[in-house]
Structure 1
Amino acid sequence: MTTLTTPATWRPEAFTAAVGDAVLAPSIHNSQPWRFRHTGDGLEVLLDERRRLAVCDPDGRMARMSCGAAAYNLRLGLAVAAGLPARFQLGSGSTVLRLWPAPPRPATPMERRLHWQIARRHTNRGPFADRPVDAVAPARLAEAARSEGGWLDFVLGDQALVVVAELIGCADARLRADRAYTAELHAWTTGANHSVEGIGPYAAGAAPHPAEILTRRDFGGLGHEATRDLSCRPAVAVLGGLGDGPDEAVRVGMALQCVLLTAADLGLATAMYSQAVEVPETRERLRQAVGRIHEPQIVLRFGYAPTTCYTNRRPIADVIEA
């Protein structure tokens, strides 16, 4: 007699809980350009084109990175909270990723540790302490990127740091000279801390100061007379992938989130600088500076800093496709 078994699948409540983890991923200007669909036998991560930044992200690369970061959180939530890990394949069009259940297994200790950090990780838009990053951290962070098919190259030496800092500053100035860019930035810089999207006053950080080593994006924070960032030799790295197309942007987003959660697990705060990759000329110069074949996707800074204000997220019901 043949015994039929029902294929494993994620129950609706497990899907909803995992989406709750997914939406805590970072996104450019906290635009949250993602939606999620339960298909019965699997899940889909969708790009919400209505929330793509037309000026800052005309080709949707950063929106797809954001969806990839959300997908990484989704995978952790399914493995840890639901006890049913996911296999996945890259999608096409607005469907950036499809997931289906893998054989049940207990979550690994590292999956549990990274899952624990999902709600605790946040972008630091404030100052860093003048304290060197632990010597083991760069290797751990580089391995985290490799585990998801990415690469993370740390900027070594004062001269190399100057080059990267100049590229970020040059790109930021180019972007701020574009009225359409500044209008879009202001549209996502909210005046209310309770807003469920964009960057509110508490999360904006202080206004950028010319003396800061790395130029931060100006989200309208209060000004200060002197830079409060005391770190003279920040730990800076460039993240990229093994290609430059839309699919690779999703993979890099998963690598990015793995790196960010690993950093949080190591007790590190992280800041992100995407200006240099938003301008084609500076992006190419950054690629040459790190000596990579494929273009870099984002610049990251790691260090020690107190917890600052978190950005808010839209209700889960708003990001689930019926």
Structure 2
Amino acid sequence: MAVRQLDEKTVTTLVAEATLAPSMHNAQPWRFRFLTGERLLLLHADLERAMPRSDPGDRALHIGCGAALLNMRVAAAHAGLAPEVRLLPEPQDPLLLAAVRLTEQTGRARDDELARLHAAIRQRHTSRHPFAEKDLPEDVRTMLRDAAARESATLLFPGAWHAETVLDLIRDAESRDVMDADAREDLIRWTRLGAEADTAVDGVPEYAFGPRKRDGRAPVRDFAGRRPVADRGTTTFEYTPHLALLSTSGDGPADWLRAGQALERVLLEATLADLATSLTSHALETPELRLLVRDPGSGTGQVQMVLRIGYGPRGPATPRRPVSDVLDIV
């Protein structure tokens, strides 16, 4: 059977959809390189977009790149391709996070479950708005747990006592940031205010901040801080937020990449189920706090992300860099 040549338009589309993934402060810490003759798409970390103060070990950077990798796999499956992924393929090159060979689909290699998620890639946006005080049905929780498990991760919906502990840790982290100028530096670098928000290609623009929280207990990071933002308003958020903890068995770069893929798979499934989502890593940005977030019953697993899930408005799309800035084709 003749193997079709992958044209530049197809590769560009795959990367464009990969880059719609979430990343810490929308820093988009990735670069792609396509080796045409080998049909090989390489994913590299972009350390110029790292956050040495908020993410000194580059854990969040890897999670963001893992989310982009999952999007790319979904886009490839939708395009009739079978992505064969190797994580960290070159030990001597730690910036090369994944190599993806884009082979032709056959009946046995088809991944219809991945392709089914394609419509959600452009619909998924982080929502920093209040969610309804409405419970998540058990079948929805099961569906989201299964999505994480498909990517070798665990999604836990904590009980009331555990959720209260997580919320307390997030509030402690927020208080720490208010007093720590270094902690605020990364946030200020990656937020876009005023006219800059209209032309930004990265970062979190002010129109995506959402309203200020007047009351309620939802964990929503205030990207404005003490800086004024016009026409933002204040409102009450939910008092009983639905949290989910995404964890992996290990805690190295490969685990972080798996966590990113699991995170995006959960988010895409949630989007198809008409759920709104937001993320917080506030309570996970220091090793000491991360240990306290774990399931108090088992005490196992490494929590990589705290998700807030519910029924409410989806947030606006945030800017993305042009594909020409992140993709080289050779």
TM-score by length of 2: 0.89
Q: How many residues align?
A: 313
Q: Which structure 1 residue ranges, 4+ long, deviate > 4 Å from structure 2? A: 5-9, 106-109, 221-225
Note the 1:214-253 alignment, pairs <5 A.
Answer: 214-220=218-224, 224=233, 227-229=235-237, 231-253=238-260
Deviation at 1:113, TM superposition (A): 2.8
Contact 1:287 1:294 in 2 (8 A): yes
1:150 aligns with 2:153: yes
State the identity as a percent: 34
What's the CA shift for 1:109?
A: 4.5
**After the TM superposition, which residues 21-170 of structure 1 pair with which residues of structure 2 at under 5 Å, given as runs?**
21-40=17-36, 41=38, 42-81=40-79, 83-91=80-88, 92=91, 93-105=94-106, 108-157=111-160, 159-170=161-172
Letter of the 1:154 partner, please give it: F
Please give the alpha-carbon distance, in whole angstroms, between the structure 1 residues aligned to 2:210 and 2:9: 36
Write 1 or 2 for the structure with the bigger share of strand: 2
Q: Note the C-alpha offset of 1:140.
A: 0.4
* Contact 1:14–1:78 (CA under 8 A) maintained in structure 2: no
Measure the CA separation in 1 of the matches of 2:294 and 2:138: 25
- Is the 8 Å Cα contact of residues 86 and 100 (structure 1) preserved in structure 2? yes
Q: Deviations over 1:38-92 (max 9, x none)?
A: 01211111100111111111111101110000000001111112x1110111124
1:266 counterpart = 2:273: yes
Q: Could you tell me whether the CA contact under 8 Å between 2:75 and 2:115 is conserved in 1?
A: no
* Cα distance between partner residues in 2 of 1:190 and 1:317: 22
Which runs of no fewer than 5 residues in structure 2 stay unpaired? none
Report the CA distance shift for 1:8/1:147 in structure 2 as closer, same or farther (over 3 A).
farther
Give the partner amino acid of 1:85.
A
- Does the CA contact (< 8 Å) of 1:270 and 1:301 recur in 2? yes
Offset at 1:294?
A: 2.9
Any idea what the Cα deviations from partners look like across 1:223-266, whole Å, max 9, x if unmatched? 645x421x333221100112100111011100000000000011
Letter in 2 for 1:197: D
Contact 2:218 2:239 in 1 (8 A): no
Q: Residue deviations 1:286-321, cap 9 Å, x none?
A: 125363423210100110112332211011110113
Structure 1: where are the runs of 5+ without partners? none
What corresponds to 2:203 in structure 1? 198
